[in-house]
Amino acid sequence: MPSFPGLTTRRIEAFSDGVFSIVITLMAFQIKLPAIDPAHAAVDLPRAVLSLWPEFYTYALSFFMVGVYWIGHHNAYHHIQHSNRALLWLNLISLMLVALLPFSTSLFGRFLEQQLAVIIYGLNIIAIGAANYLQWQYALRARLVDSEIEDWFVERANFRLLVAPAVALVSIAISFWNVYVSALLYITLIAFYMFPTVLDRYRK
Protein backbone atom coordinates (compact mmCIF):
# COMPACT_ATOMS: atom_id res chain seq x y z
CA MET A 1 0.00 0.00 0.00
CA PRO A 2 1.33 3.49 -0.84
CA SER A 3 2.14 5.89 2.00
CA PHE A 4 0.36 9.25 2.10
CA PRO A 5 2.15 11.89 4.24
CA GLY A 6 -0.95 14.08 4.40
CA LEU A 7 -3.09 16.41 2.38
CA THR A 8 -1.53 18.68 -0.21
CA THR A 9 -1.48 22.47 0.19
CA ARG A 10 -2.98 23.31 -3.20
CA ARG A 11 -6.46 24.06 -1.88
CA ILE A 12 -5.07 26.11 1.02
CA GLU A 13 -3.04 28.26 -1.36
CA ALA A 14 -5.90 28.73 -3.84
CA PHE A 15 -8.42 29.67 -1.13
CA SER A 16 -5.94 31.96 0.62
CA ASP A 17 -5.10 33.78 -2.62
CA GLY A 18 -8.82 34.40 -3.12
CA VAL A 19 -9.21 35.87 0.36
CA PHE A 20 -6.16 38.09 -0.02
CA SER A 21 -7.38 39.42 -3.38
CA ILE A 22 -10.82 40.25 -1.98
CA VAL A 23 -9.41 41.94 1.13
CA ILE A 24 -6.95 44.03 -0.86
CA THR A 25 -9.75 45.12 -3.22
CA LEU A 26 -12.02 46.11 -0.34
CA MET A 27 -9.41 48.54 0.96
CA ALA A 28 -10.24 51.18 -1.64
CA PHE A 29 -13.94 51.07 -0.75
CA GLN A 30 -13.14 52.36 2.73
CA ILE A 31 -12.40 55.83 1.30
CA LYS A 32 -15.70 57.70 1.08
CA LEU A 33 -16.44 60.50 -1.35
CA PRO A 34 -16.54 63.89 0.40
CA ALA A 35 -20.05 65.12 1.14
CA ILE A 36 -20.09 68.61 -0.36
CA ASP A 37 -22.56 70.71 -2.28
CA PRO A 38 -21.79 70.36 -6.03
CA ALA A 39 -22.62 74.04 -6.43
CA HIS A 40 -19.65 74.94 -4.24
CA ALA A 41 -17.33 72.16 -5.45
CA ALA A 42 -14.82 74.54 -7.02
CA VAL A 43 -14.13 76.02 -3.61
CA ASP A 44 -14.85 73.13 -1.25
CA LEU A 45 -13.58 70.07 -3.17
CA PRO A 46 -9.81 70.71 -2.89
CA ARG A 47 -10.10 71.21 0.86
CA ALA A 48 -12.39 68.20 1.23
CA VAL A 49 -10.04 65.91 -0.71
CA LEU A 50 -7.06 67.17 1.29
CA SER A 51 -8.92 66.38 4.51
CA LEU A 52 -9.03 62.72 3.43
CA TRP A 53 -5.23 62.33 3.76
CA PRO A 54 -5.50 60.07 6.84
CA GLU A 55 -7.74 57.67 4.92
CA PHE A 56 -5.42 57.66 1.90
CA TYR A 57 -2.45 57.06 4.19
CA THR A 58 -4.05 54.14 6.01
CA TYR A 59 -5.34 52.74 2.70
CA ALA A 60 -1.83 52.69 1.21
CA LEU A 61 -0.37 51.36 4.46
CA SER A 62 -2.82 48.49 4.74
CA PHE A 63 -2.71 47.71 1.02
CA PHE A 64 1.02 47.09 1.36
CA MET A 65 0.54 45.24 4.67
CA VAL A 66 -1.87 42.81 2.99
CA GLY A 67 0.76 42.46 0.27
CA VAL A 68 3.34 41.66 2.94
CA TYR A 69 1.08 38.96 4.41
CA TRP A 70 0.38 37.50 0.97
CA ILE A 71 4.09 37.34 0.10
CA GLY A 72 4.82 35.78 3.50
CA HIS A 73 2.08 33.21 2.98
CA HIS A 74 3.41 32.42 -0.48
CA ASN A 75 6.95 31.98 0.87
CA ALA A 76 5.84 29.86 3.84
CA TYR A 77 3.85 27.50 1.65
CA HIS A 78 6.84 27.02 -0.59
CA HIS A 79 8.30 25.13 2.37
CA ILE A 80 5.07 23.76 3.89
CA GLN A 81 4.54 20.77 1.62
CA HIS A 82 1.70 18.94 3.38
CA SER A 83 -1.36 19.93 5.38
CA ASN A 84 -3.80 18.43 7.85
CA ARG A 85 -7.02 19.48 9.54
CA ALA A 86 -5.27 21.48 12.26
CA LEU A 87 -3.24 23.46 9.72
CA LEU A 88 -6.39 24.16 7.71
CA TRP A 89 -8.05 25.69 10.78
CA LEU A 90 -4.95 27.68 11.73
CA ASN A 91 -4.83 29.09 8.21
CA LEU A 92 -8.54 29.97 8.39
CA ILE A 93 -7.99 31.84 11.66
CA SER A 94 -5.14 33.79 10.09
CA LEU A 95 -7.28 34.69 7.07
CA MET A 96 -10.18 35.70 9.33
CA LEU A 97 -7.91 38.23 11.03
CA VAL A 98 -6.57 39.50 7.69
CA ALA A 99 -10.19 39.97 6.55
CA LEU A 100 -10.70 42.34 9.51
CA LEU A 101 -8.14 44.77 8.08
CA PRO A 102 -10.65 46.73 5.92
CA PHE A 103 -12.63 47.50 9.11
CA SER A 104 -9.66 48.39 11.32
CA THR A 105 -8.11 50.38 8.44
CA SER A 106 -11.31 52.37 7.91
CA LEU A 107 -11.52 53.11 11.64
CA PHE A 108 -7.83 54.01 11.74
CA GLY A 109 -8.11 56.41 8.80
CA ARG A 110 -11.35 58.10 9.81
CA PHE A 111 -10.42 58.57 13.45
CA LEU A 112 -6.65 58.86 13.24
CA GLU A 113 -6.56 61.39 16.05
CA GLN A 114 -8.34 58.98 18.40
CA GLN A 115 -6.08 56.64 20.35
CA LEU A 116 -8.66 53.85 20.44
CA ALA A 117 -8.68 53.63 16.62
CA VAL A 118 -4.87 53.41 16.59
CA ILE A 119 -4.94 50.69 19.27
CA ILE A 120 -7.58 48.62 17.44
CA TYR A 121 -5.51 48.72 14.25
CA GLY A 122 -2.38 47.74 16.16
CA LEU A 123 -4.17 44.86 17.86
CA ASN A 124 -5.31 43.63 14.44
CA ILE A 125 -1.69 43.61 13.22
CA ILE A 126 -0.56 41.82 16.39
CA ALA A 127 -3.30 39.20 16.06
CA ILE A 128 -2.41 38.48 12.42
CA GLY A 129 1.27 38.18 13.30
CA ALA A 130 0.54 35.84 16.20
CA ALA A 131 -1.70 33.65 14.02
CA ASN A 132 0.92 33.46 11.26
CA TYR A 133 3.65 32.61 13.77
CA LEU A 134 1.49 29.90 15.35
CA GLN A 135 0.69 28.43 11.93
CA TRP A 136 4.37 28.29 10.97
CA GLN A 137 5.41 26.78 14.31
CA TYR A 138 2.70 24.13 14.05
CA ALA A 139 3.81 23.22 10.52
CA LEU A 140 7.38 22.80 11.79
CA ARG A 141 6.43 20.67 14.77
CA ALA A 142 3.96 18.54 12.80
CA ARG A 143 6.68 17.95 10.19
CA LEU A 144 4.60 19.36 7.37
CA VAL A 145 7.57 21.29 6.00
CA ASP A 146 10.41 20.23 3.75
CA SER A 147 12.44 17.71 5.76
CA GLU A 148 15.72 19.29 4.60
CA ILE A 149 14.93 22.80 5.88
CA GLU A 150 17.88 24.17 7.86
CA ASP A 151 17.85 25.52 11.41
CA TRP A 152 19.28 28.93 10.50
CA PHE A 153 16.45 29.44 8.00
CA VAL A 154 13.83 28.59 10.62
CA GLU A 155 15.38 31.04 13.10
CA ARG A 156 15.42 33.91 10.59
CA ALA A 157 11.89 33.13 9.44
CA ASN A 158 10.73 33.15 13.07
CA PHE A 159 12.32 36.57 13.57
CA ARG A 160 10.67 38.07 10.48
CA LEU A 161 7.28 36.77 11.55
CA LEU A 162 7.61 38.53 14.91
CA VAL A 163 8.76 41.92 13.60
CA ALA A 164 5.28 43.16 12.57
CA PRO A 165 3.53 42.38 15.88
CA ALA A 166 6.53 43.83 17.77
CA VAL A 167 6.33 47.12 15.83
CA ALA A 168 2.55 47.22 16.34
CA LEU A 169 3.07 46.78 20.08
CA VAL A 170 5.57 49.65 20.12
CA SER A 171 3.13 51.73 18.07
CA ILE A 172 0.38 51.16 20.63
CA ALA A 173 2.74 52.21 23.42
CA ILE A 174 3.73 55.39 21.50
CA SER A 175 0.04 56.23 20.96
CA PHE A 176 -0.16 57.12 24.66
CA TRP A 177 2.26 59.94 23.82
CA ASN A 178 1.42 60.90 20.21
CA VAL A 179 -1.04 59.11 17.91
CA TYR A 180 0.44 60.62 14.74
CA VAL A 181 3.96 59.35 15.47
CA SER A 182 2.37 56.01 16.34
CA ALA A 183 0.65 55.88 12.94
CA LEU A 184 3.81 56.80 11.03
CA LEU A 185 5.82 54.04 12.71
CA TYR A 186 4.15 51.45 10.46
CA ILE A 187 6.08 52.81 7.48
CA THR A 188 9.14 51.08 8.91
CA LEU A 189 7.35 47.75 8.49
CA ILE A 190 6.83 48.31 4.77
CA ALA A 191 10.49 49.23 4.37
CA PHE A 192 11.59 46.19 6.39
CA TYR A 193 9.55 43.66 4.41
CA MET A 194 9.90 45.21 0.97
CA PHE A 195 13.50 44.28 0.23
CA PRO A 196 14.59 40.70 -0.51
CA THR A 197 16.75 38.82 1.98
CA VAL A 198 18.79 35.64 2.02
CA LEU A 199 15.54 33.81 2.85
CA ASP A 200 14.23 34.59 -0.63
CA ARG A 201 17.23 32.86 -2.18
CA TYR A 202 16.87 29.74 -0.06
CA ARG A 203 15.98 26.79 -2.30
CA LYS A 204 15.85 23.77 0.03
Residue 54's identity, in one-letter code, is P
Q: Do residues 114 and 179 touch, judged by C-beta distance below 8 A?
A: yes
Closest-CA residue to 98 (of 131, 137, 135): 131
pLDDT (tens digit per residue) in 157-188? 888 889 999 999 999 999 999 998 998 888 88
pTM listed for this prediction = 0.85
Q: What is the pLDDT of residue 1?
A: 34
Show me where the domains of the chain are located. Answer: 10-201
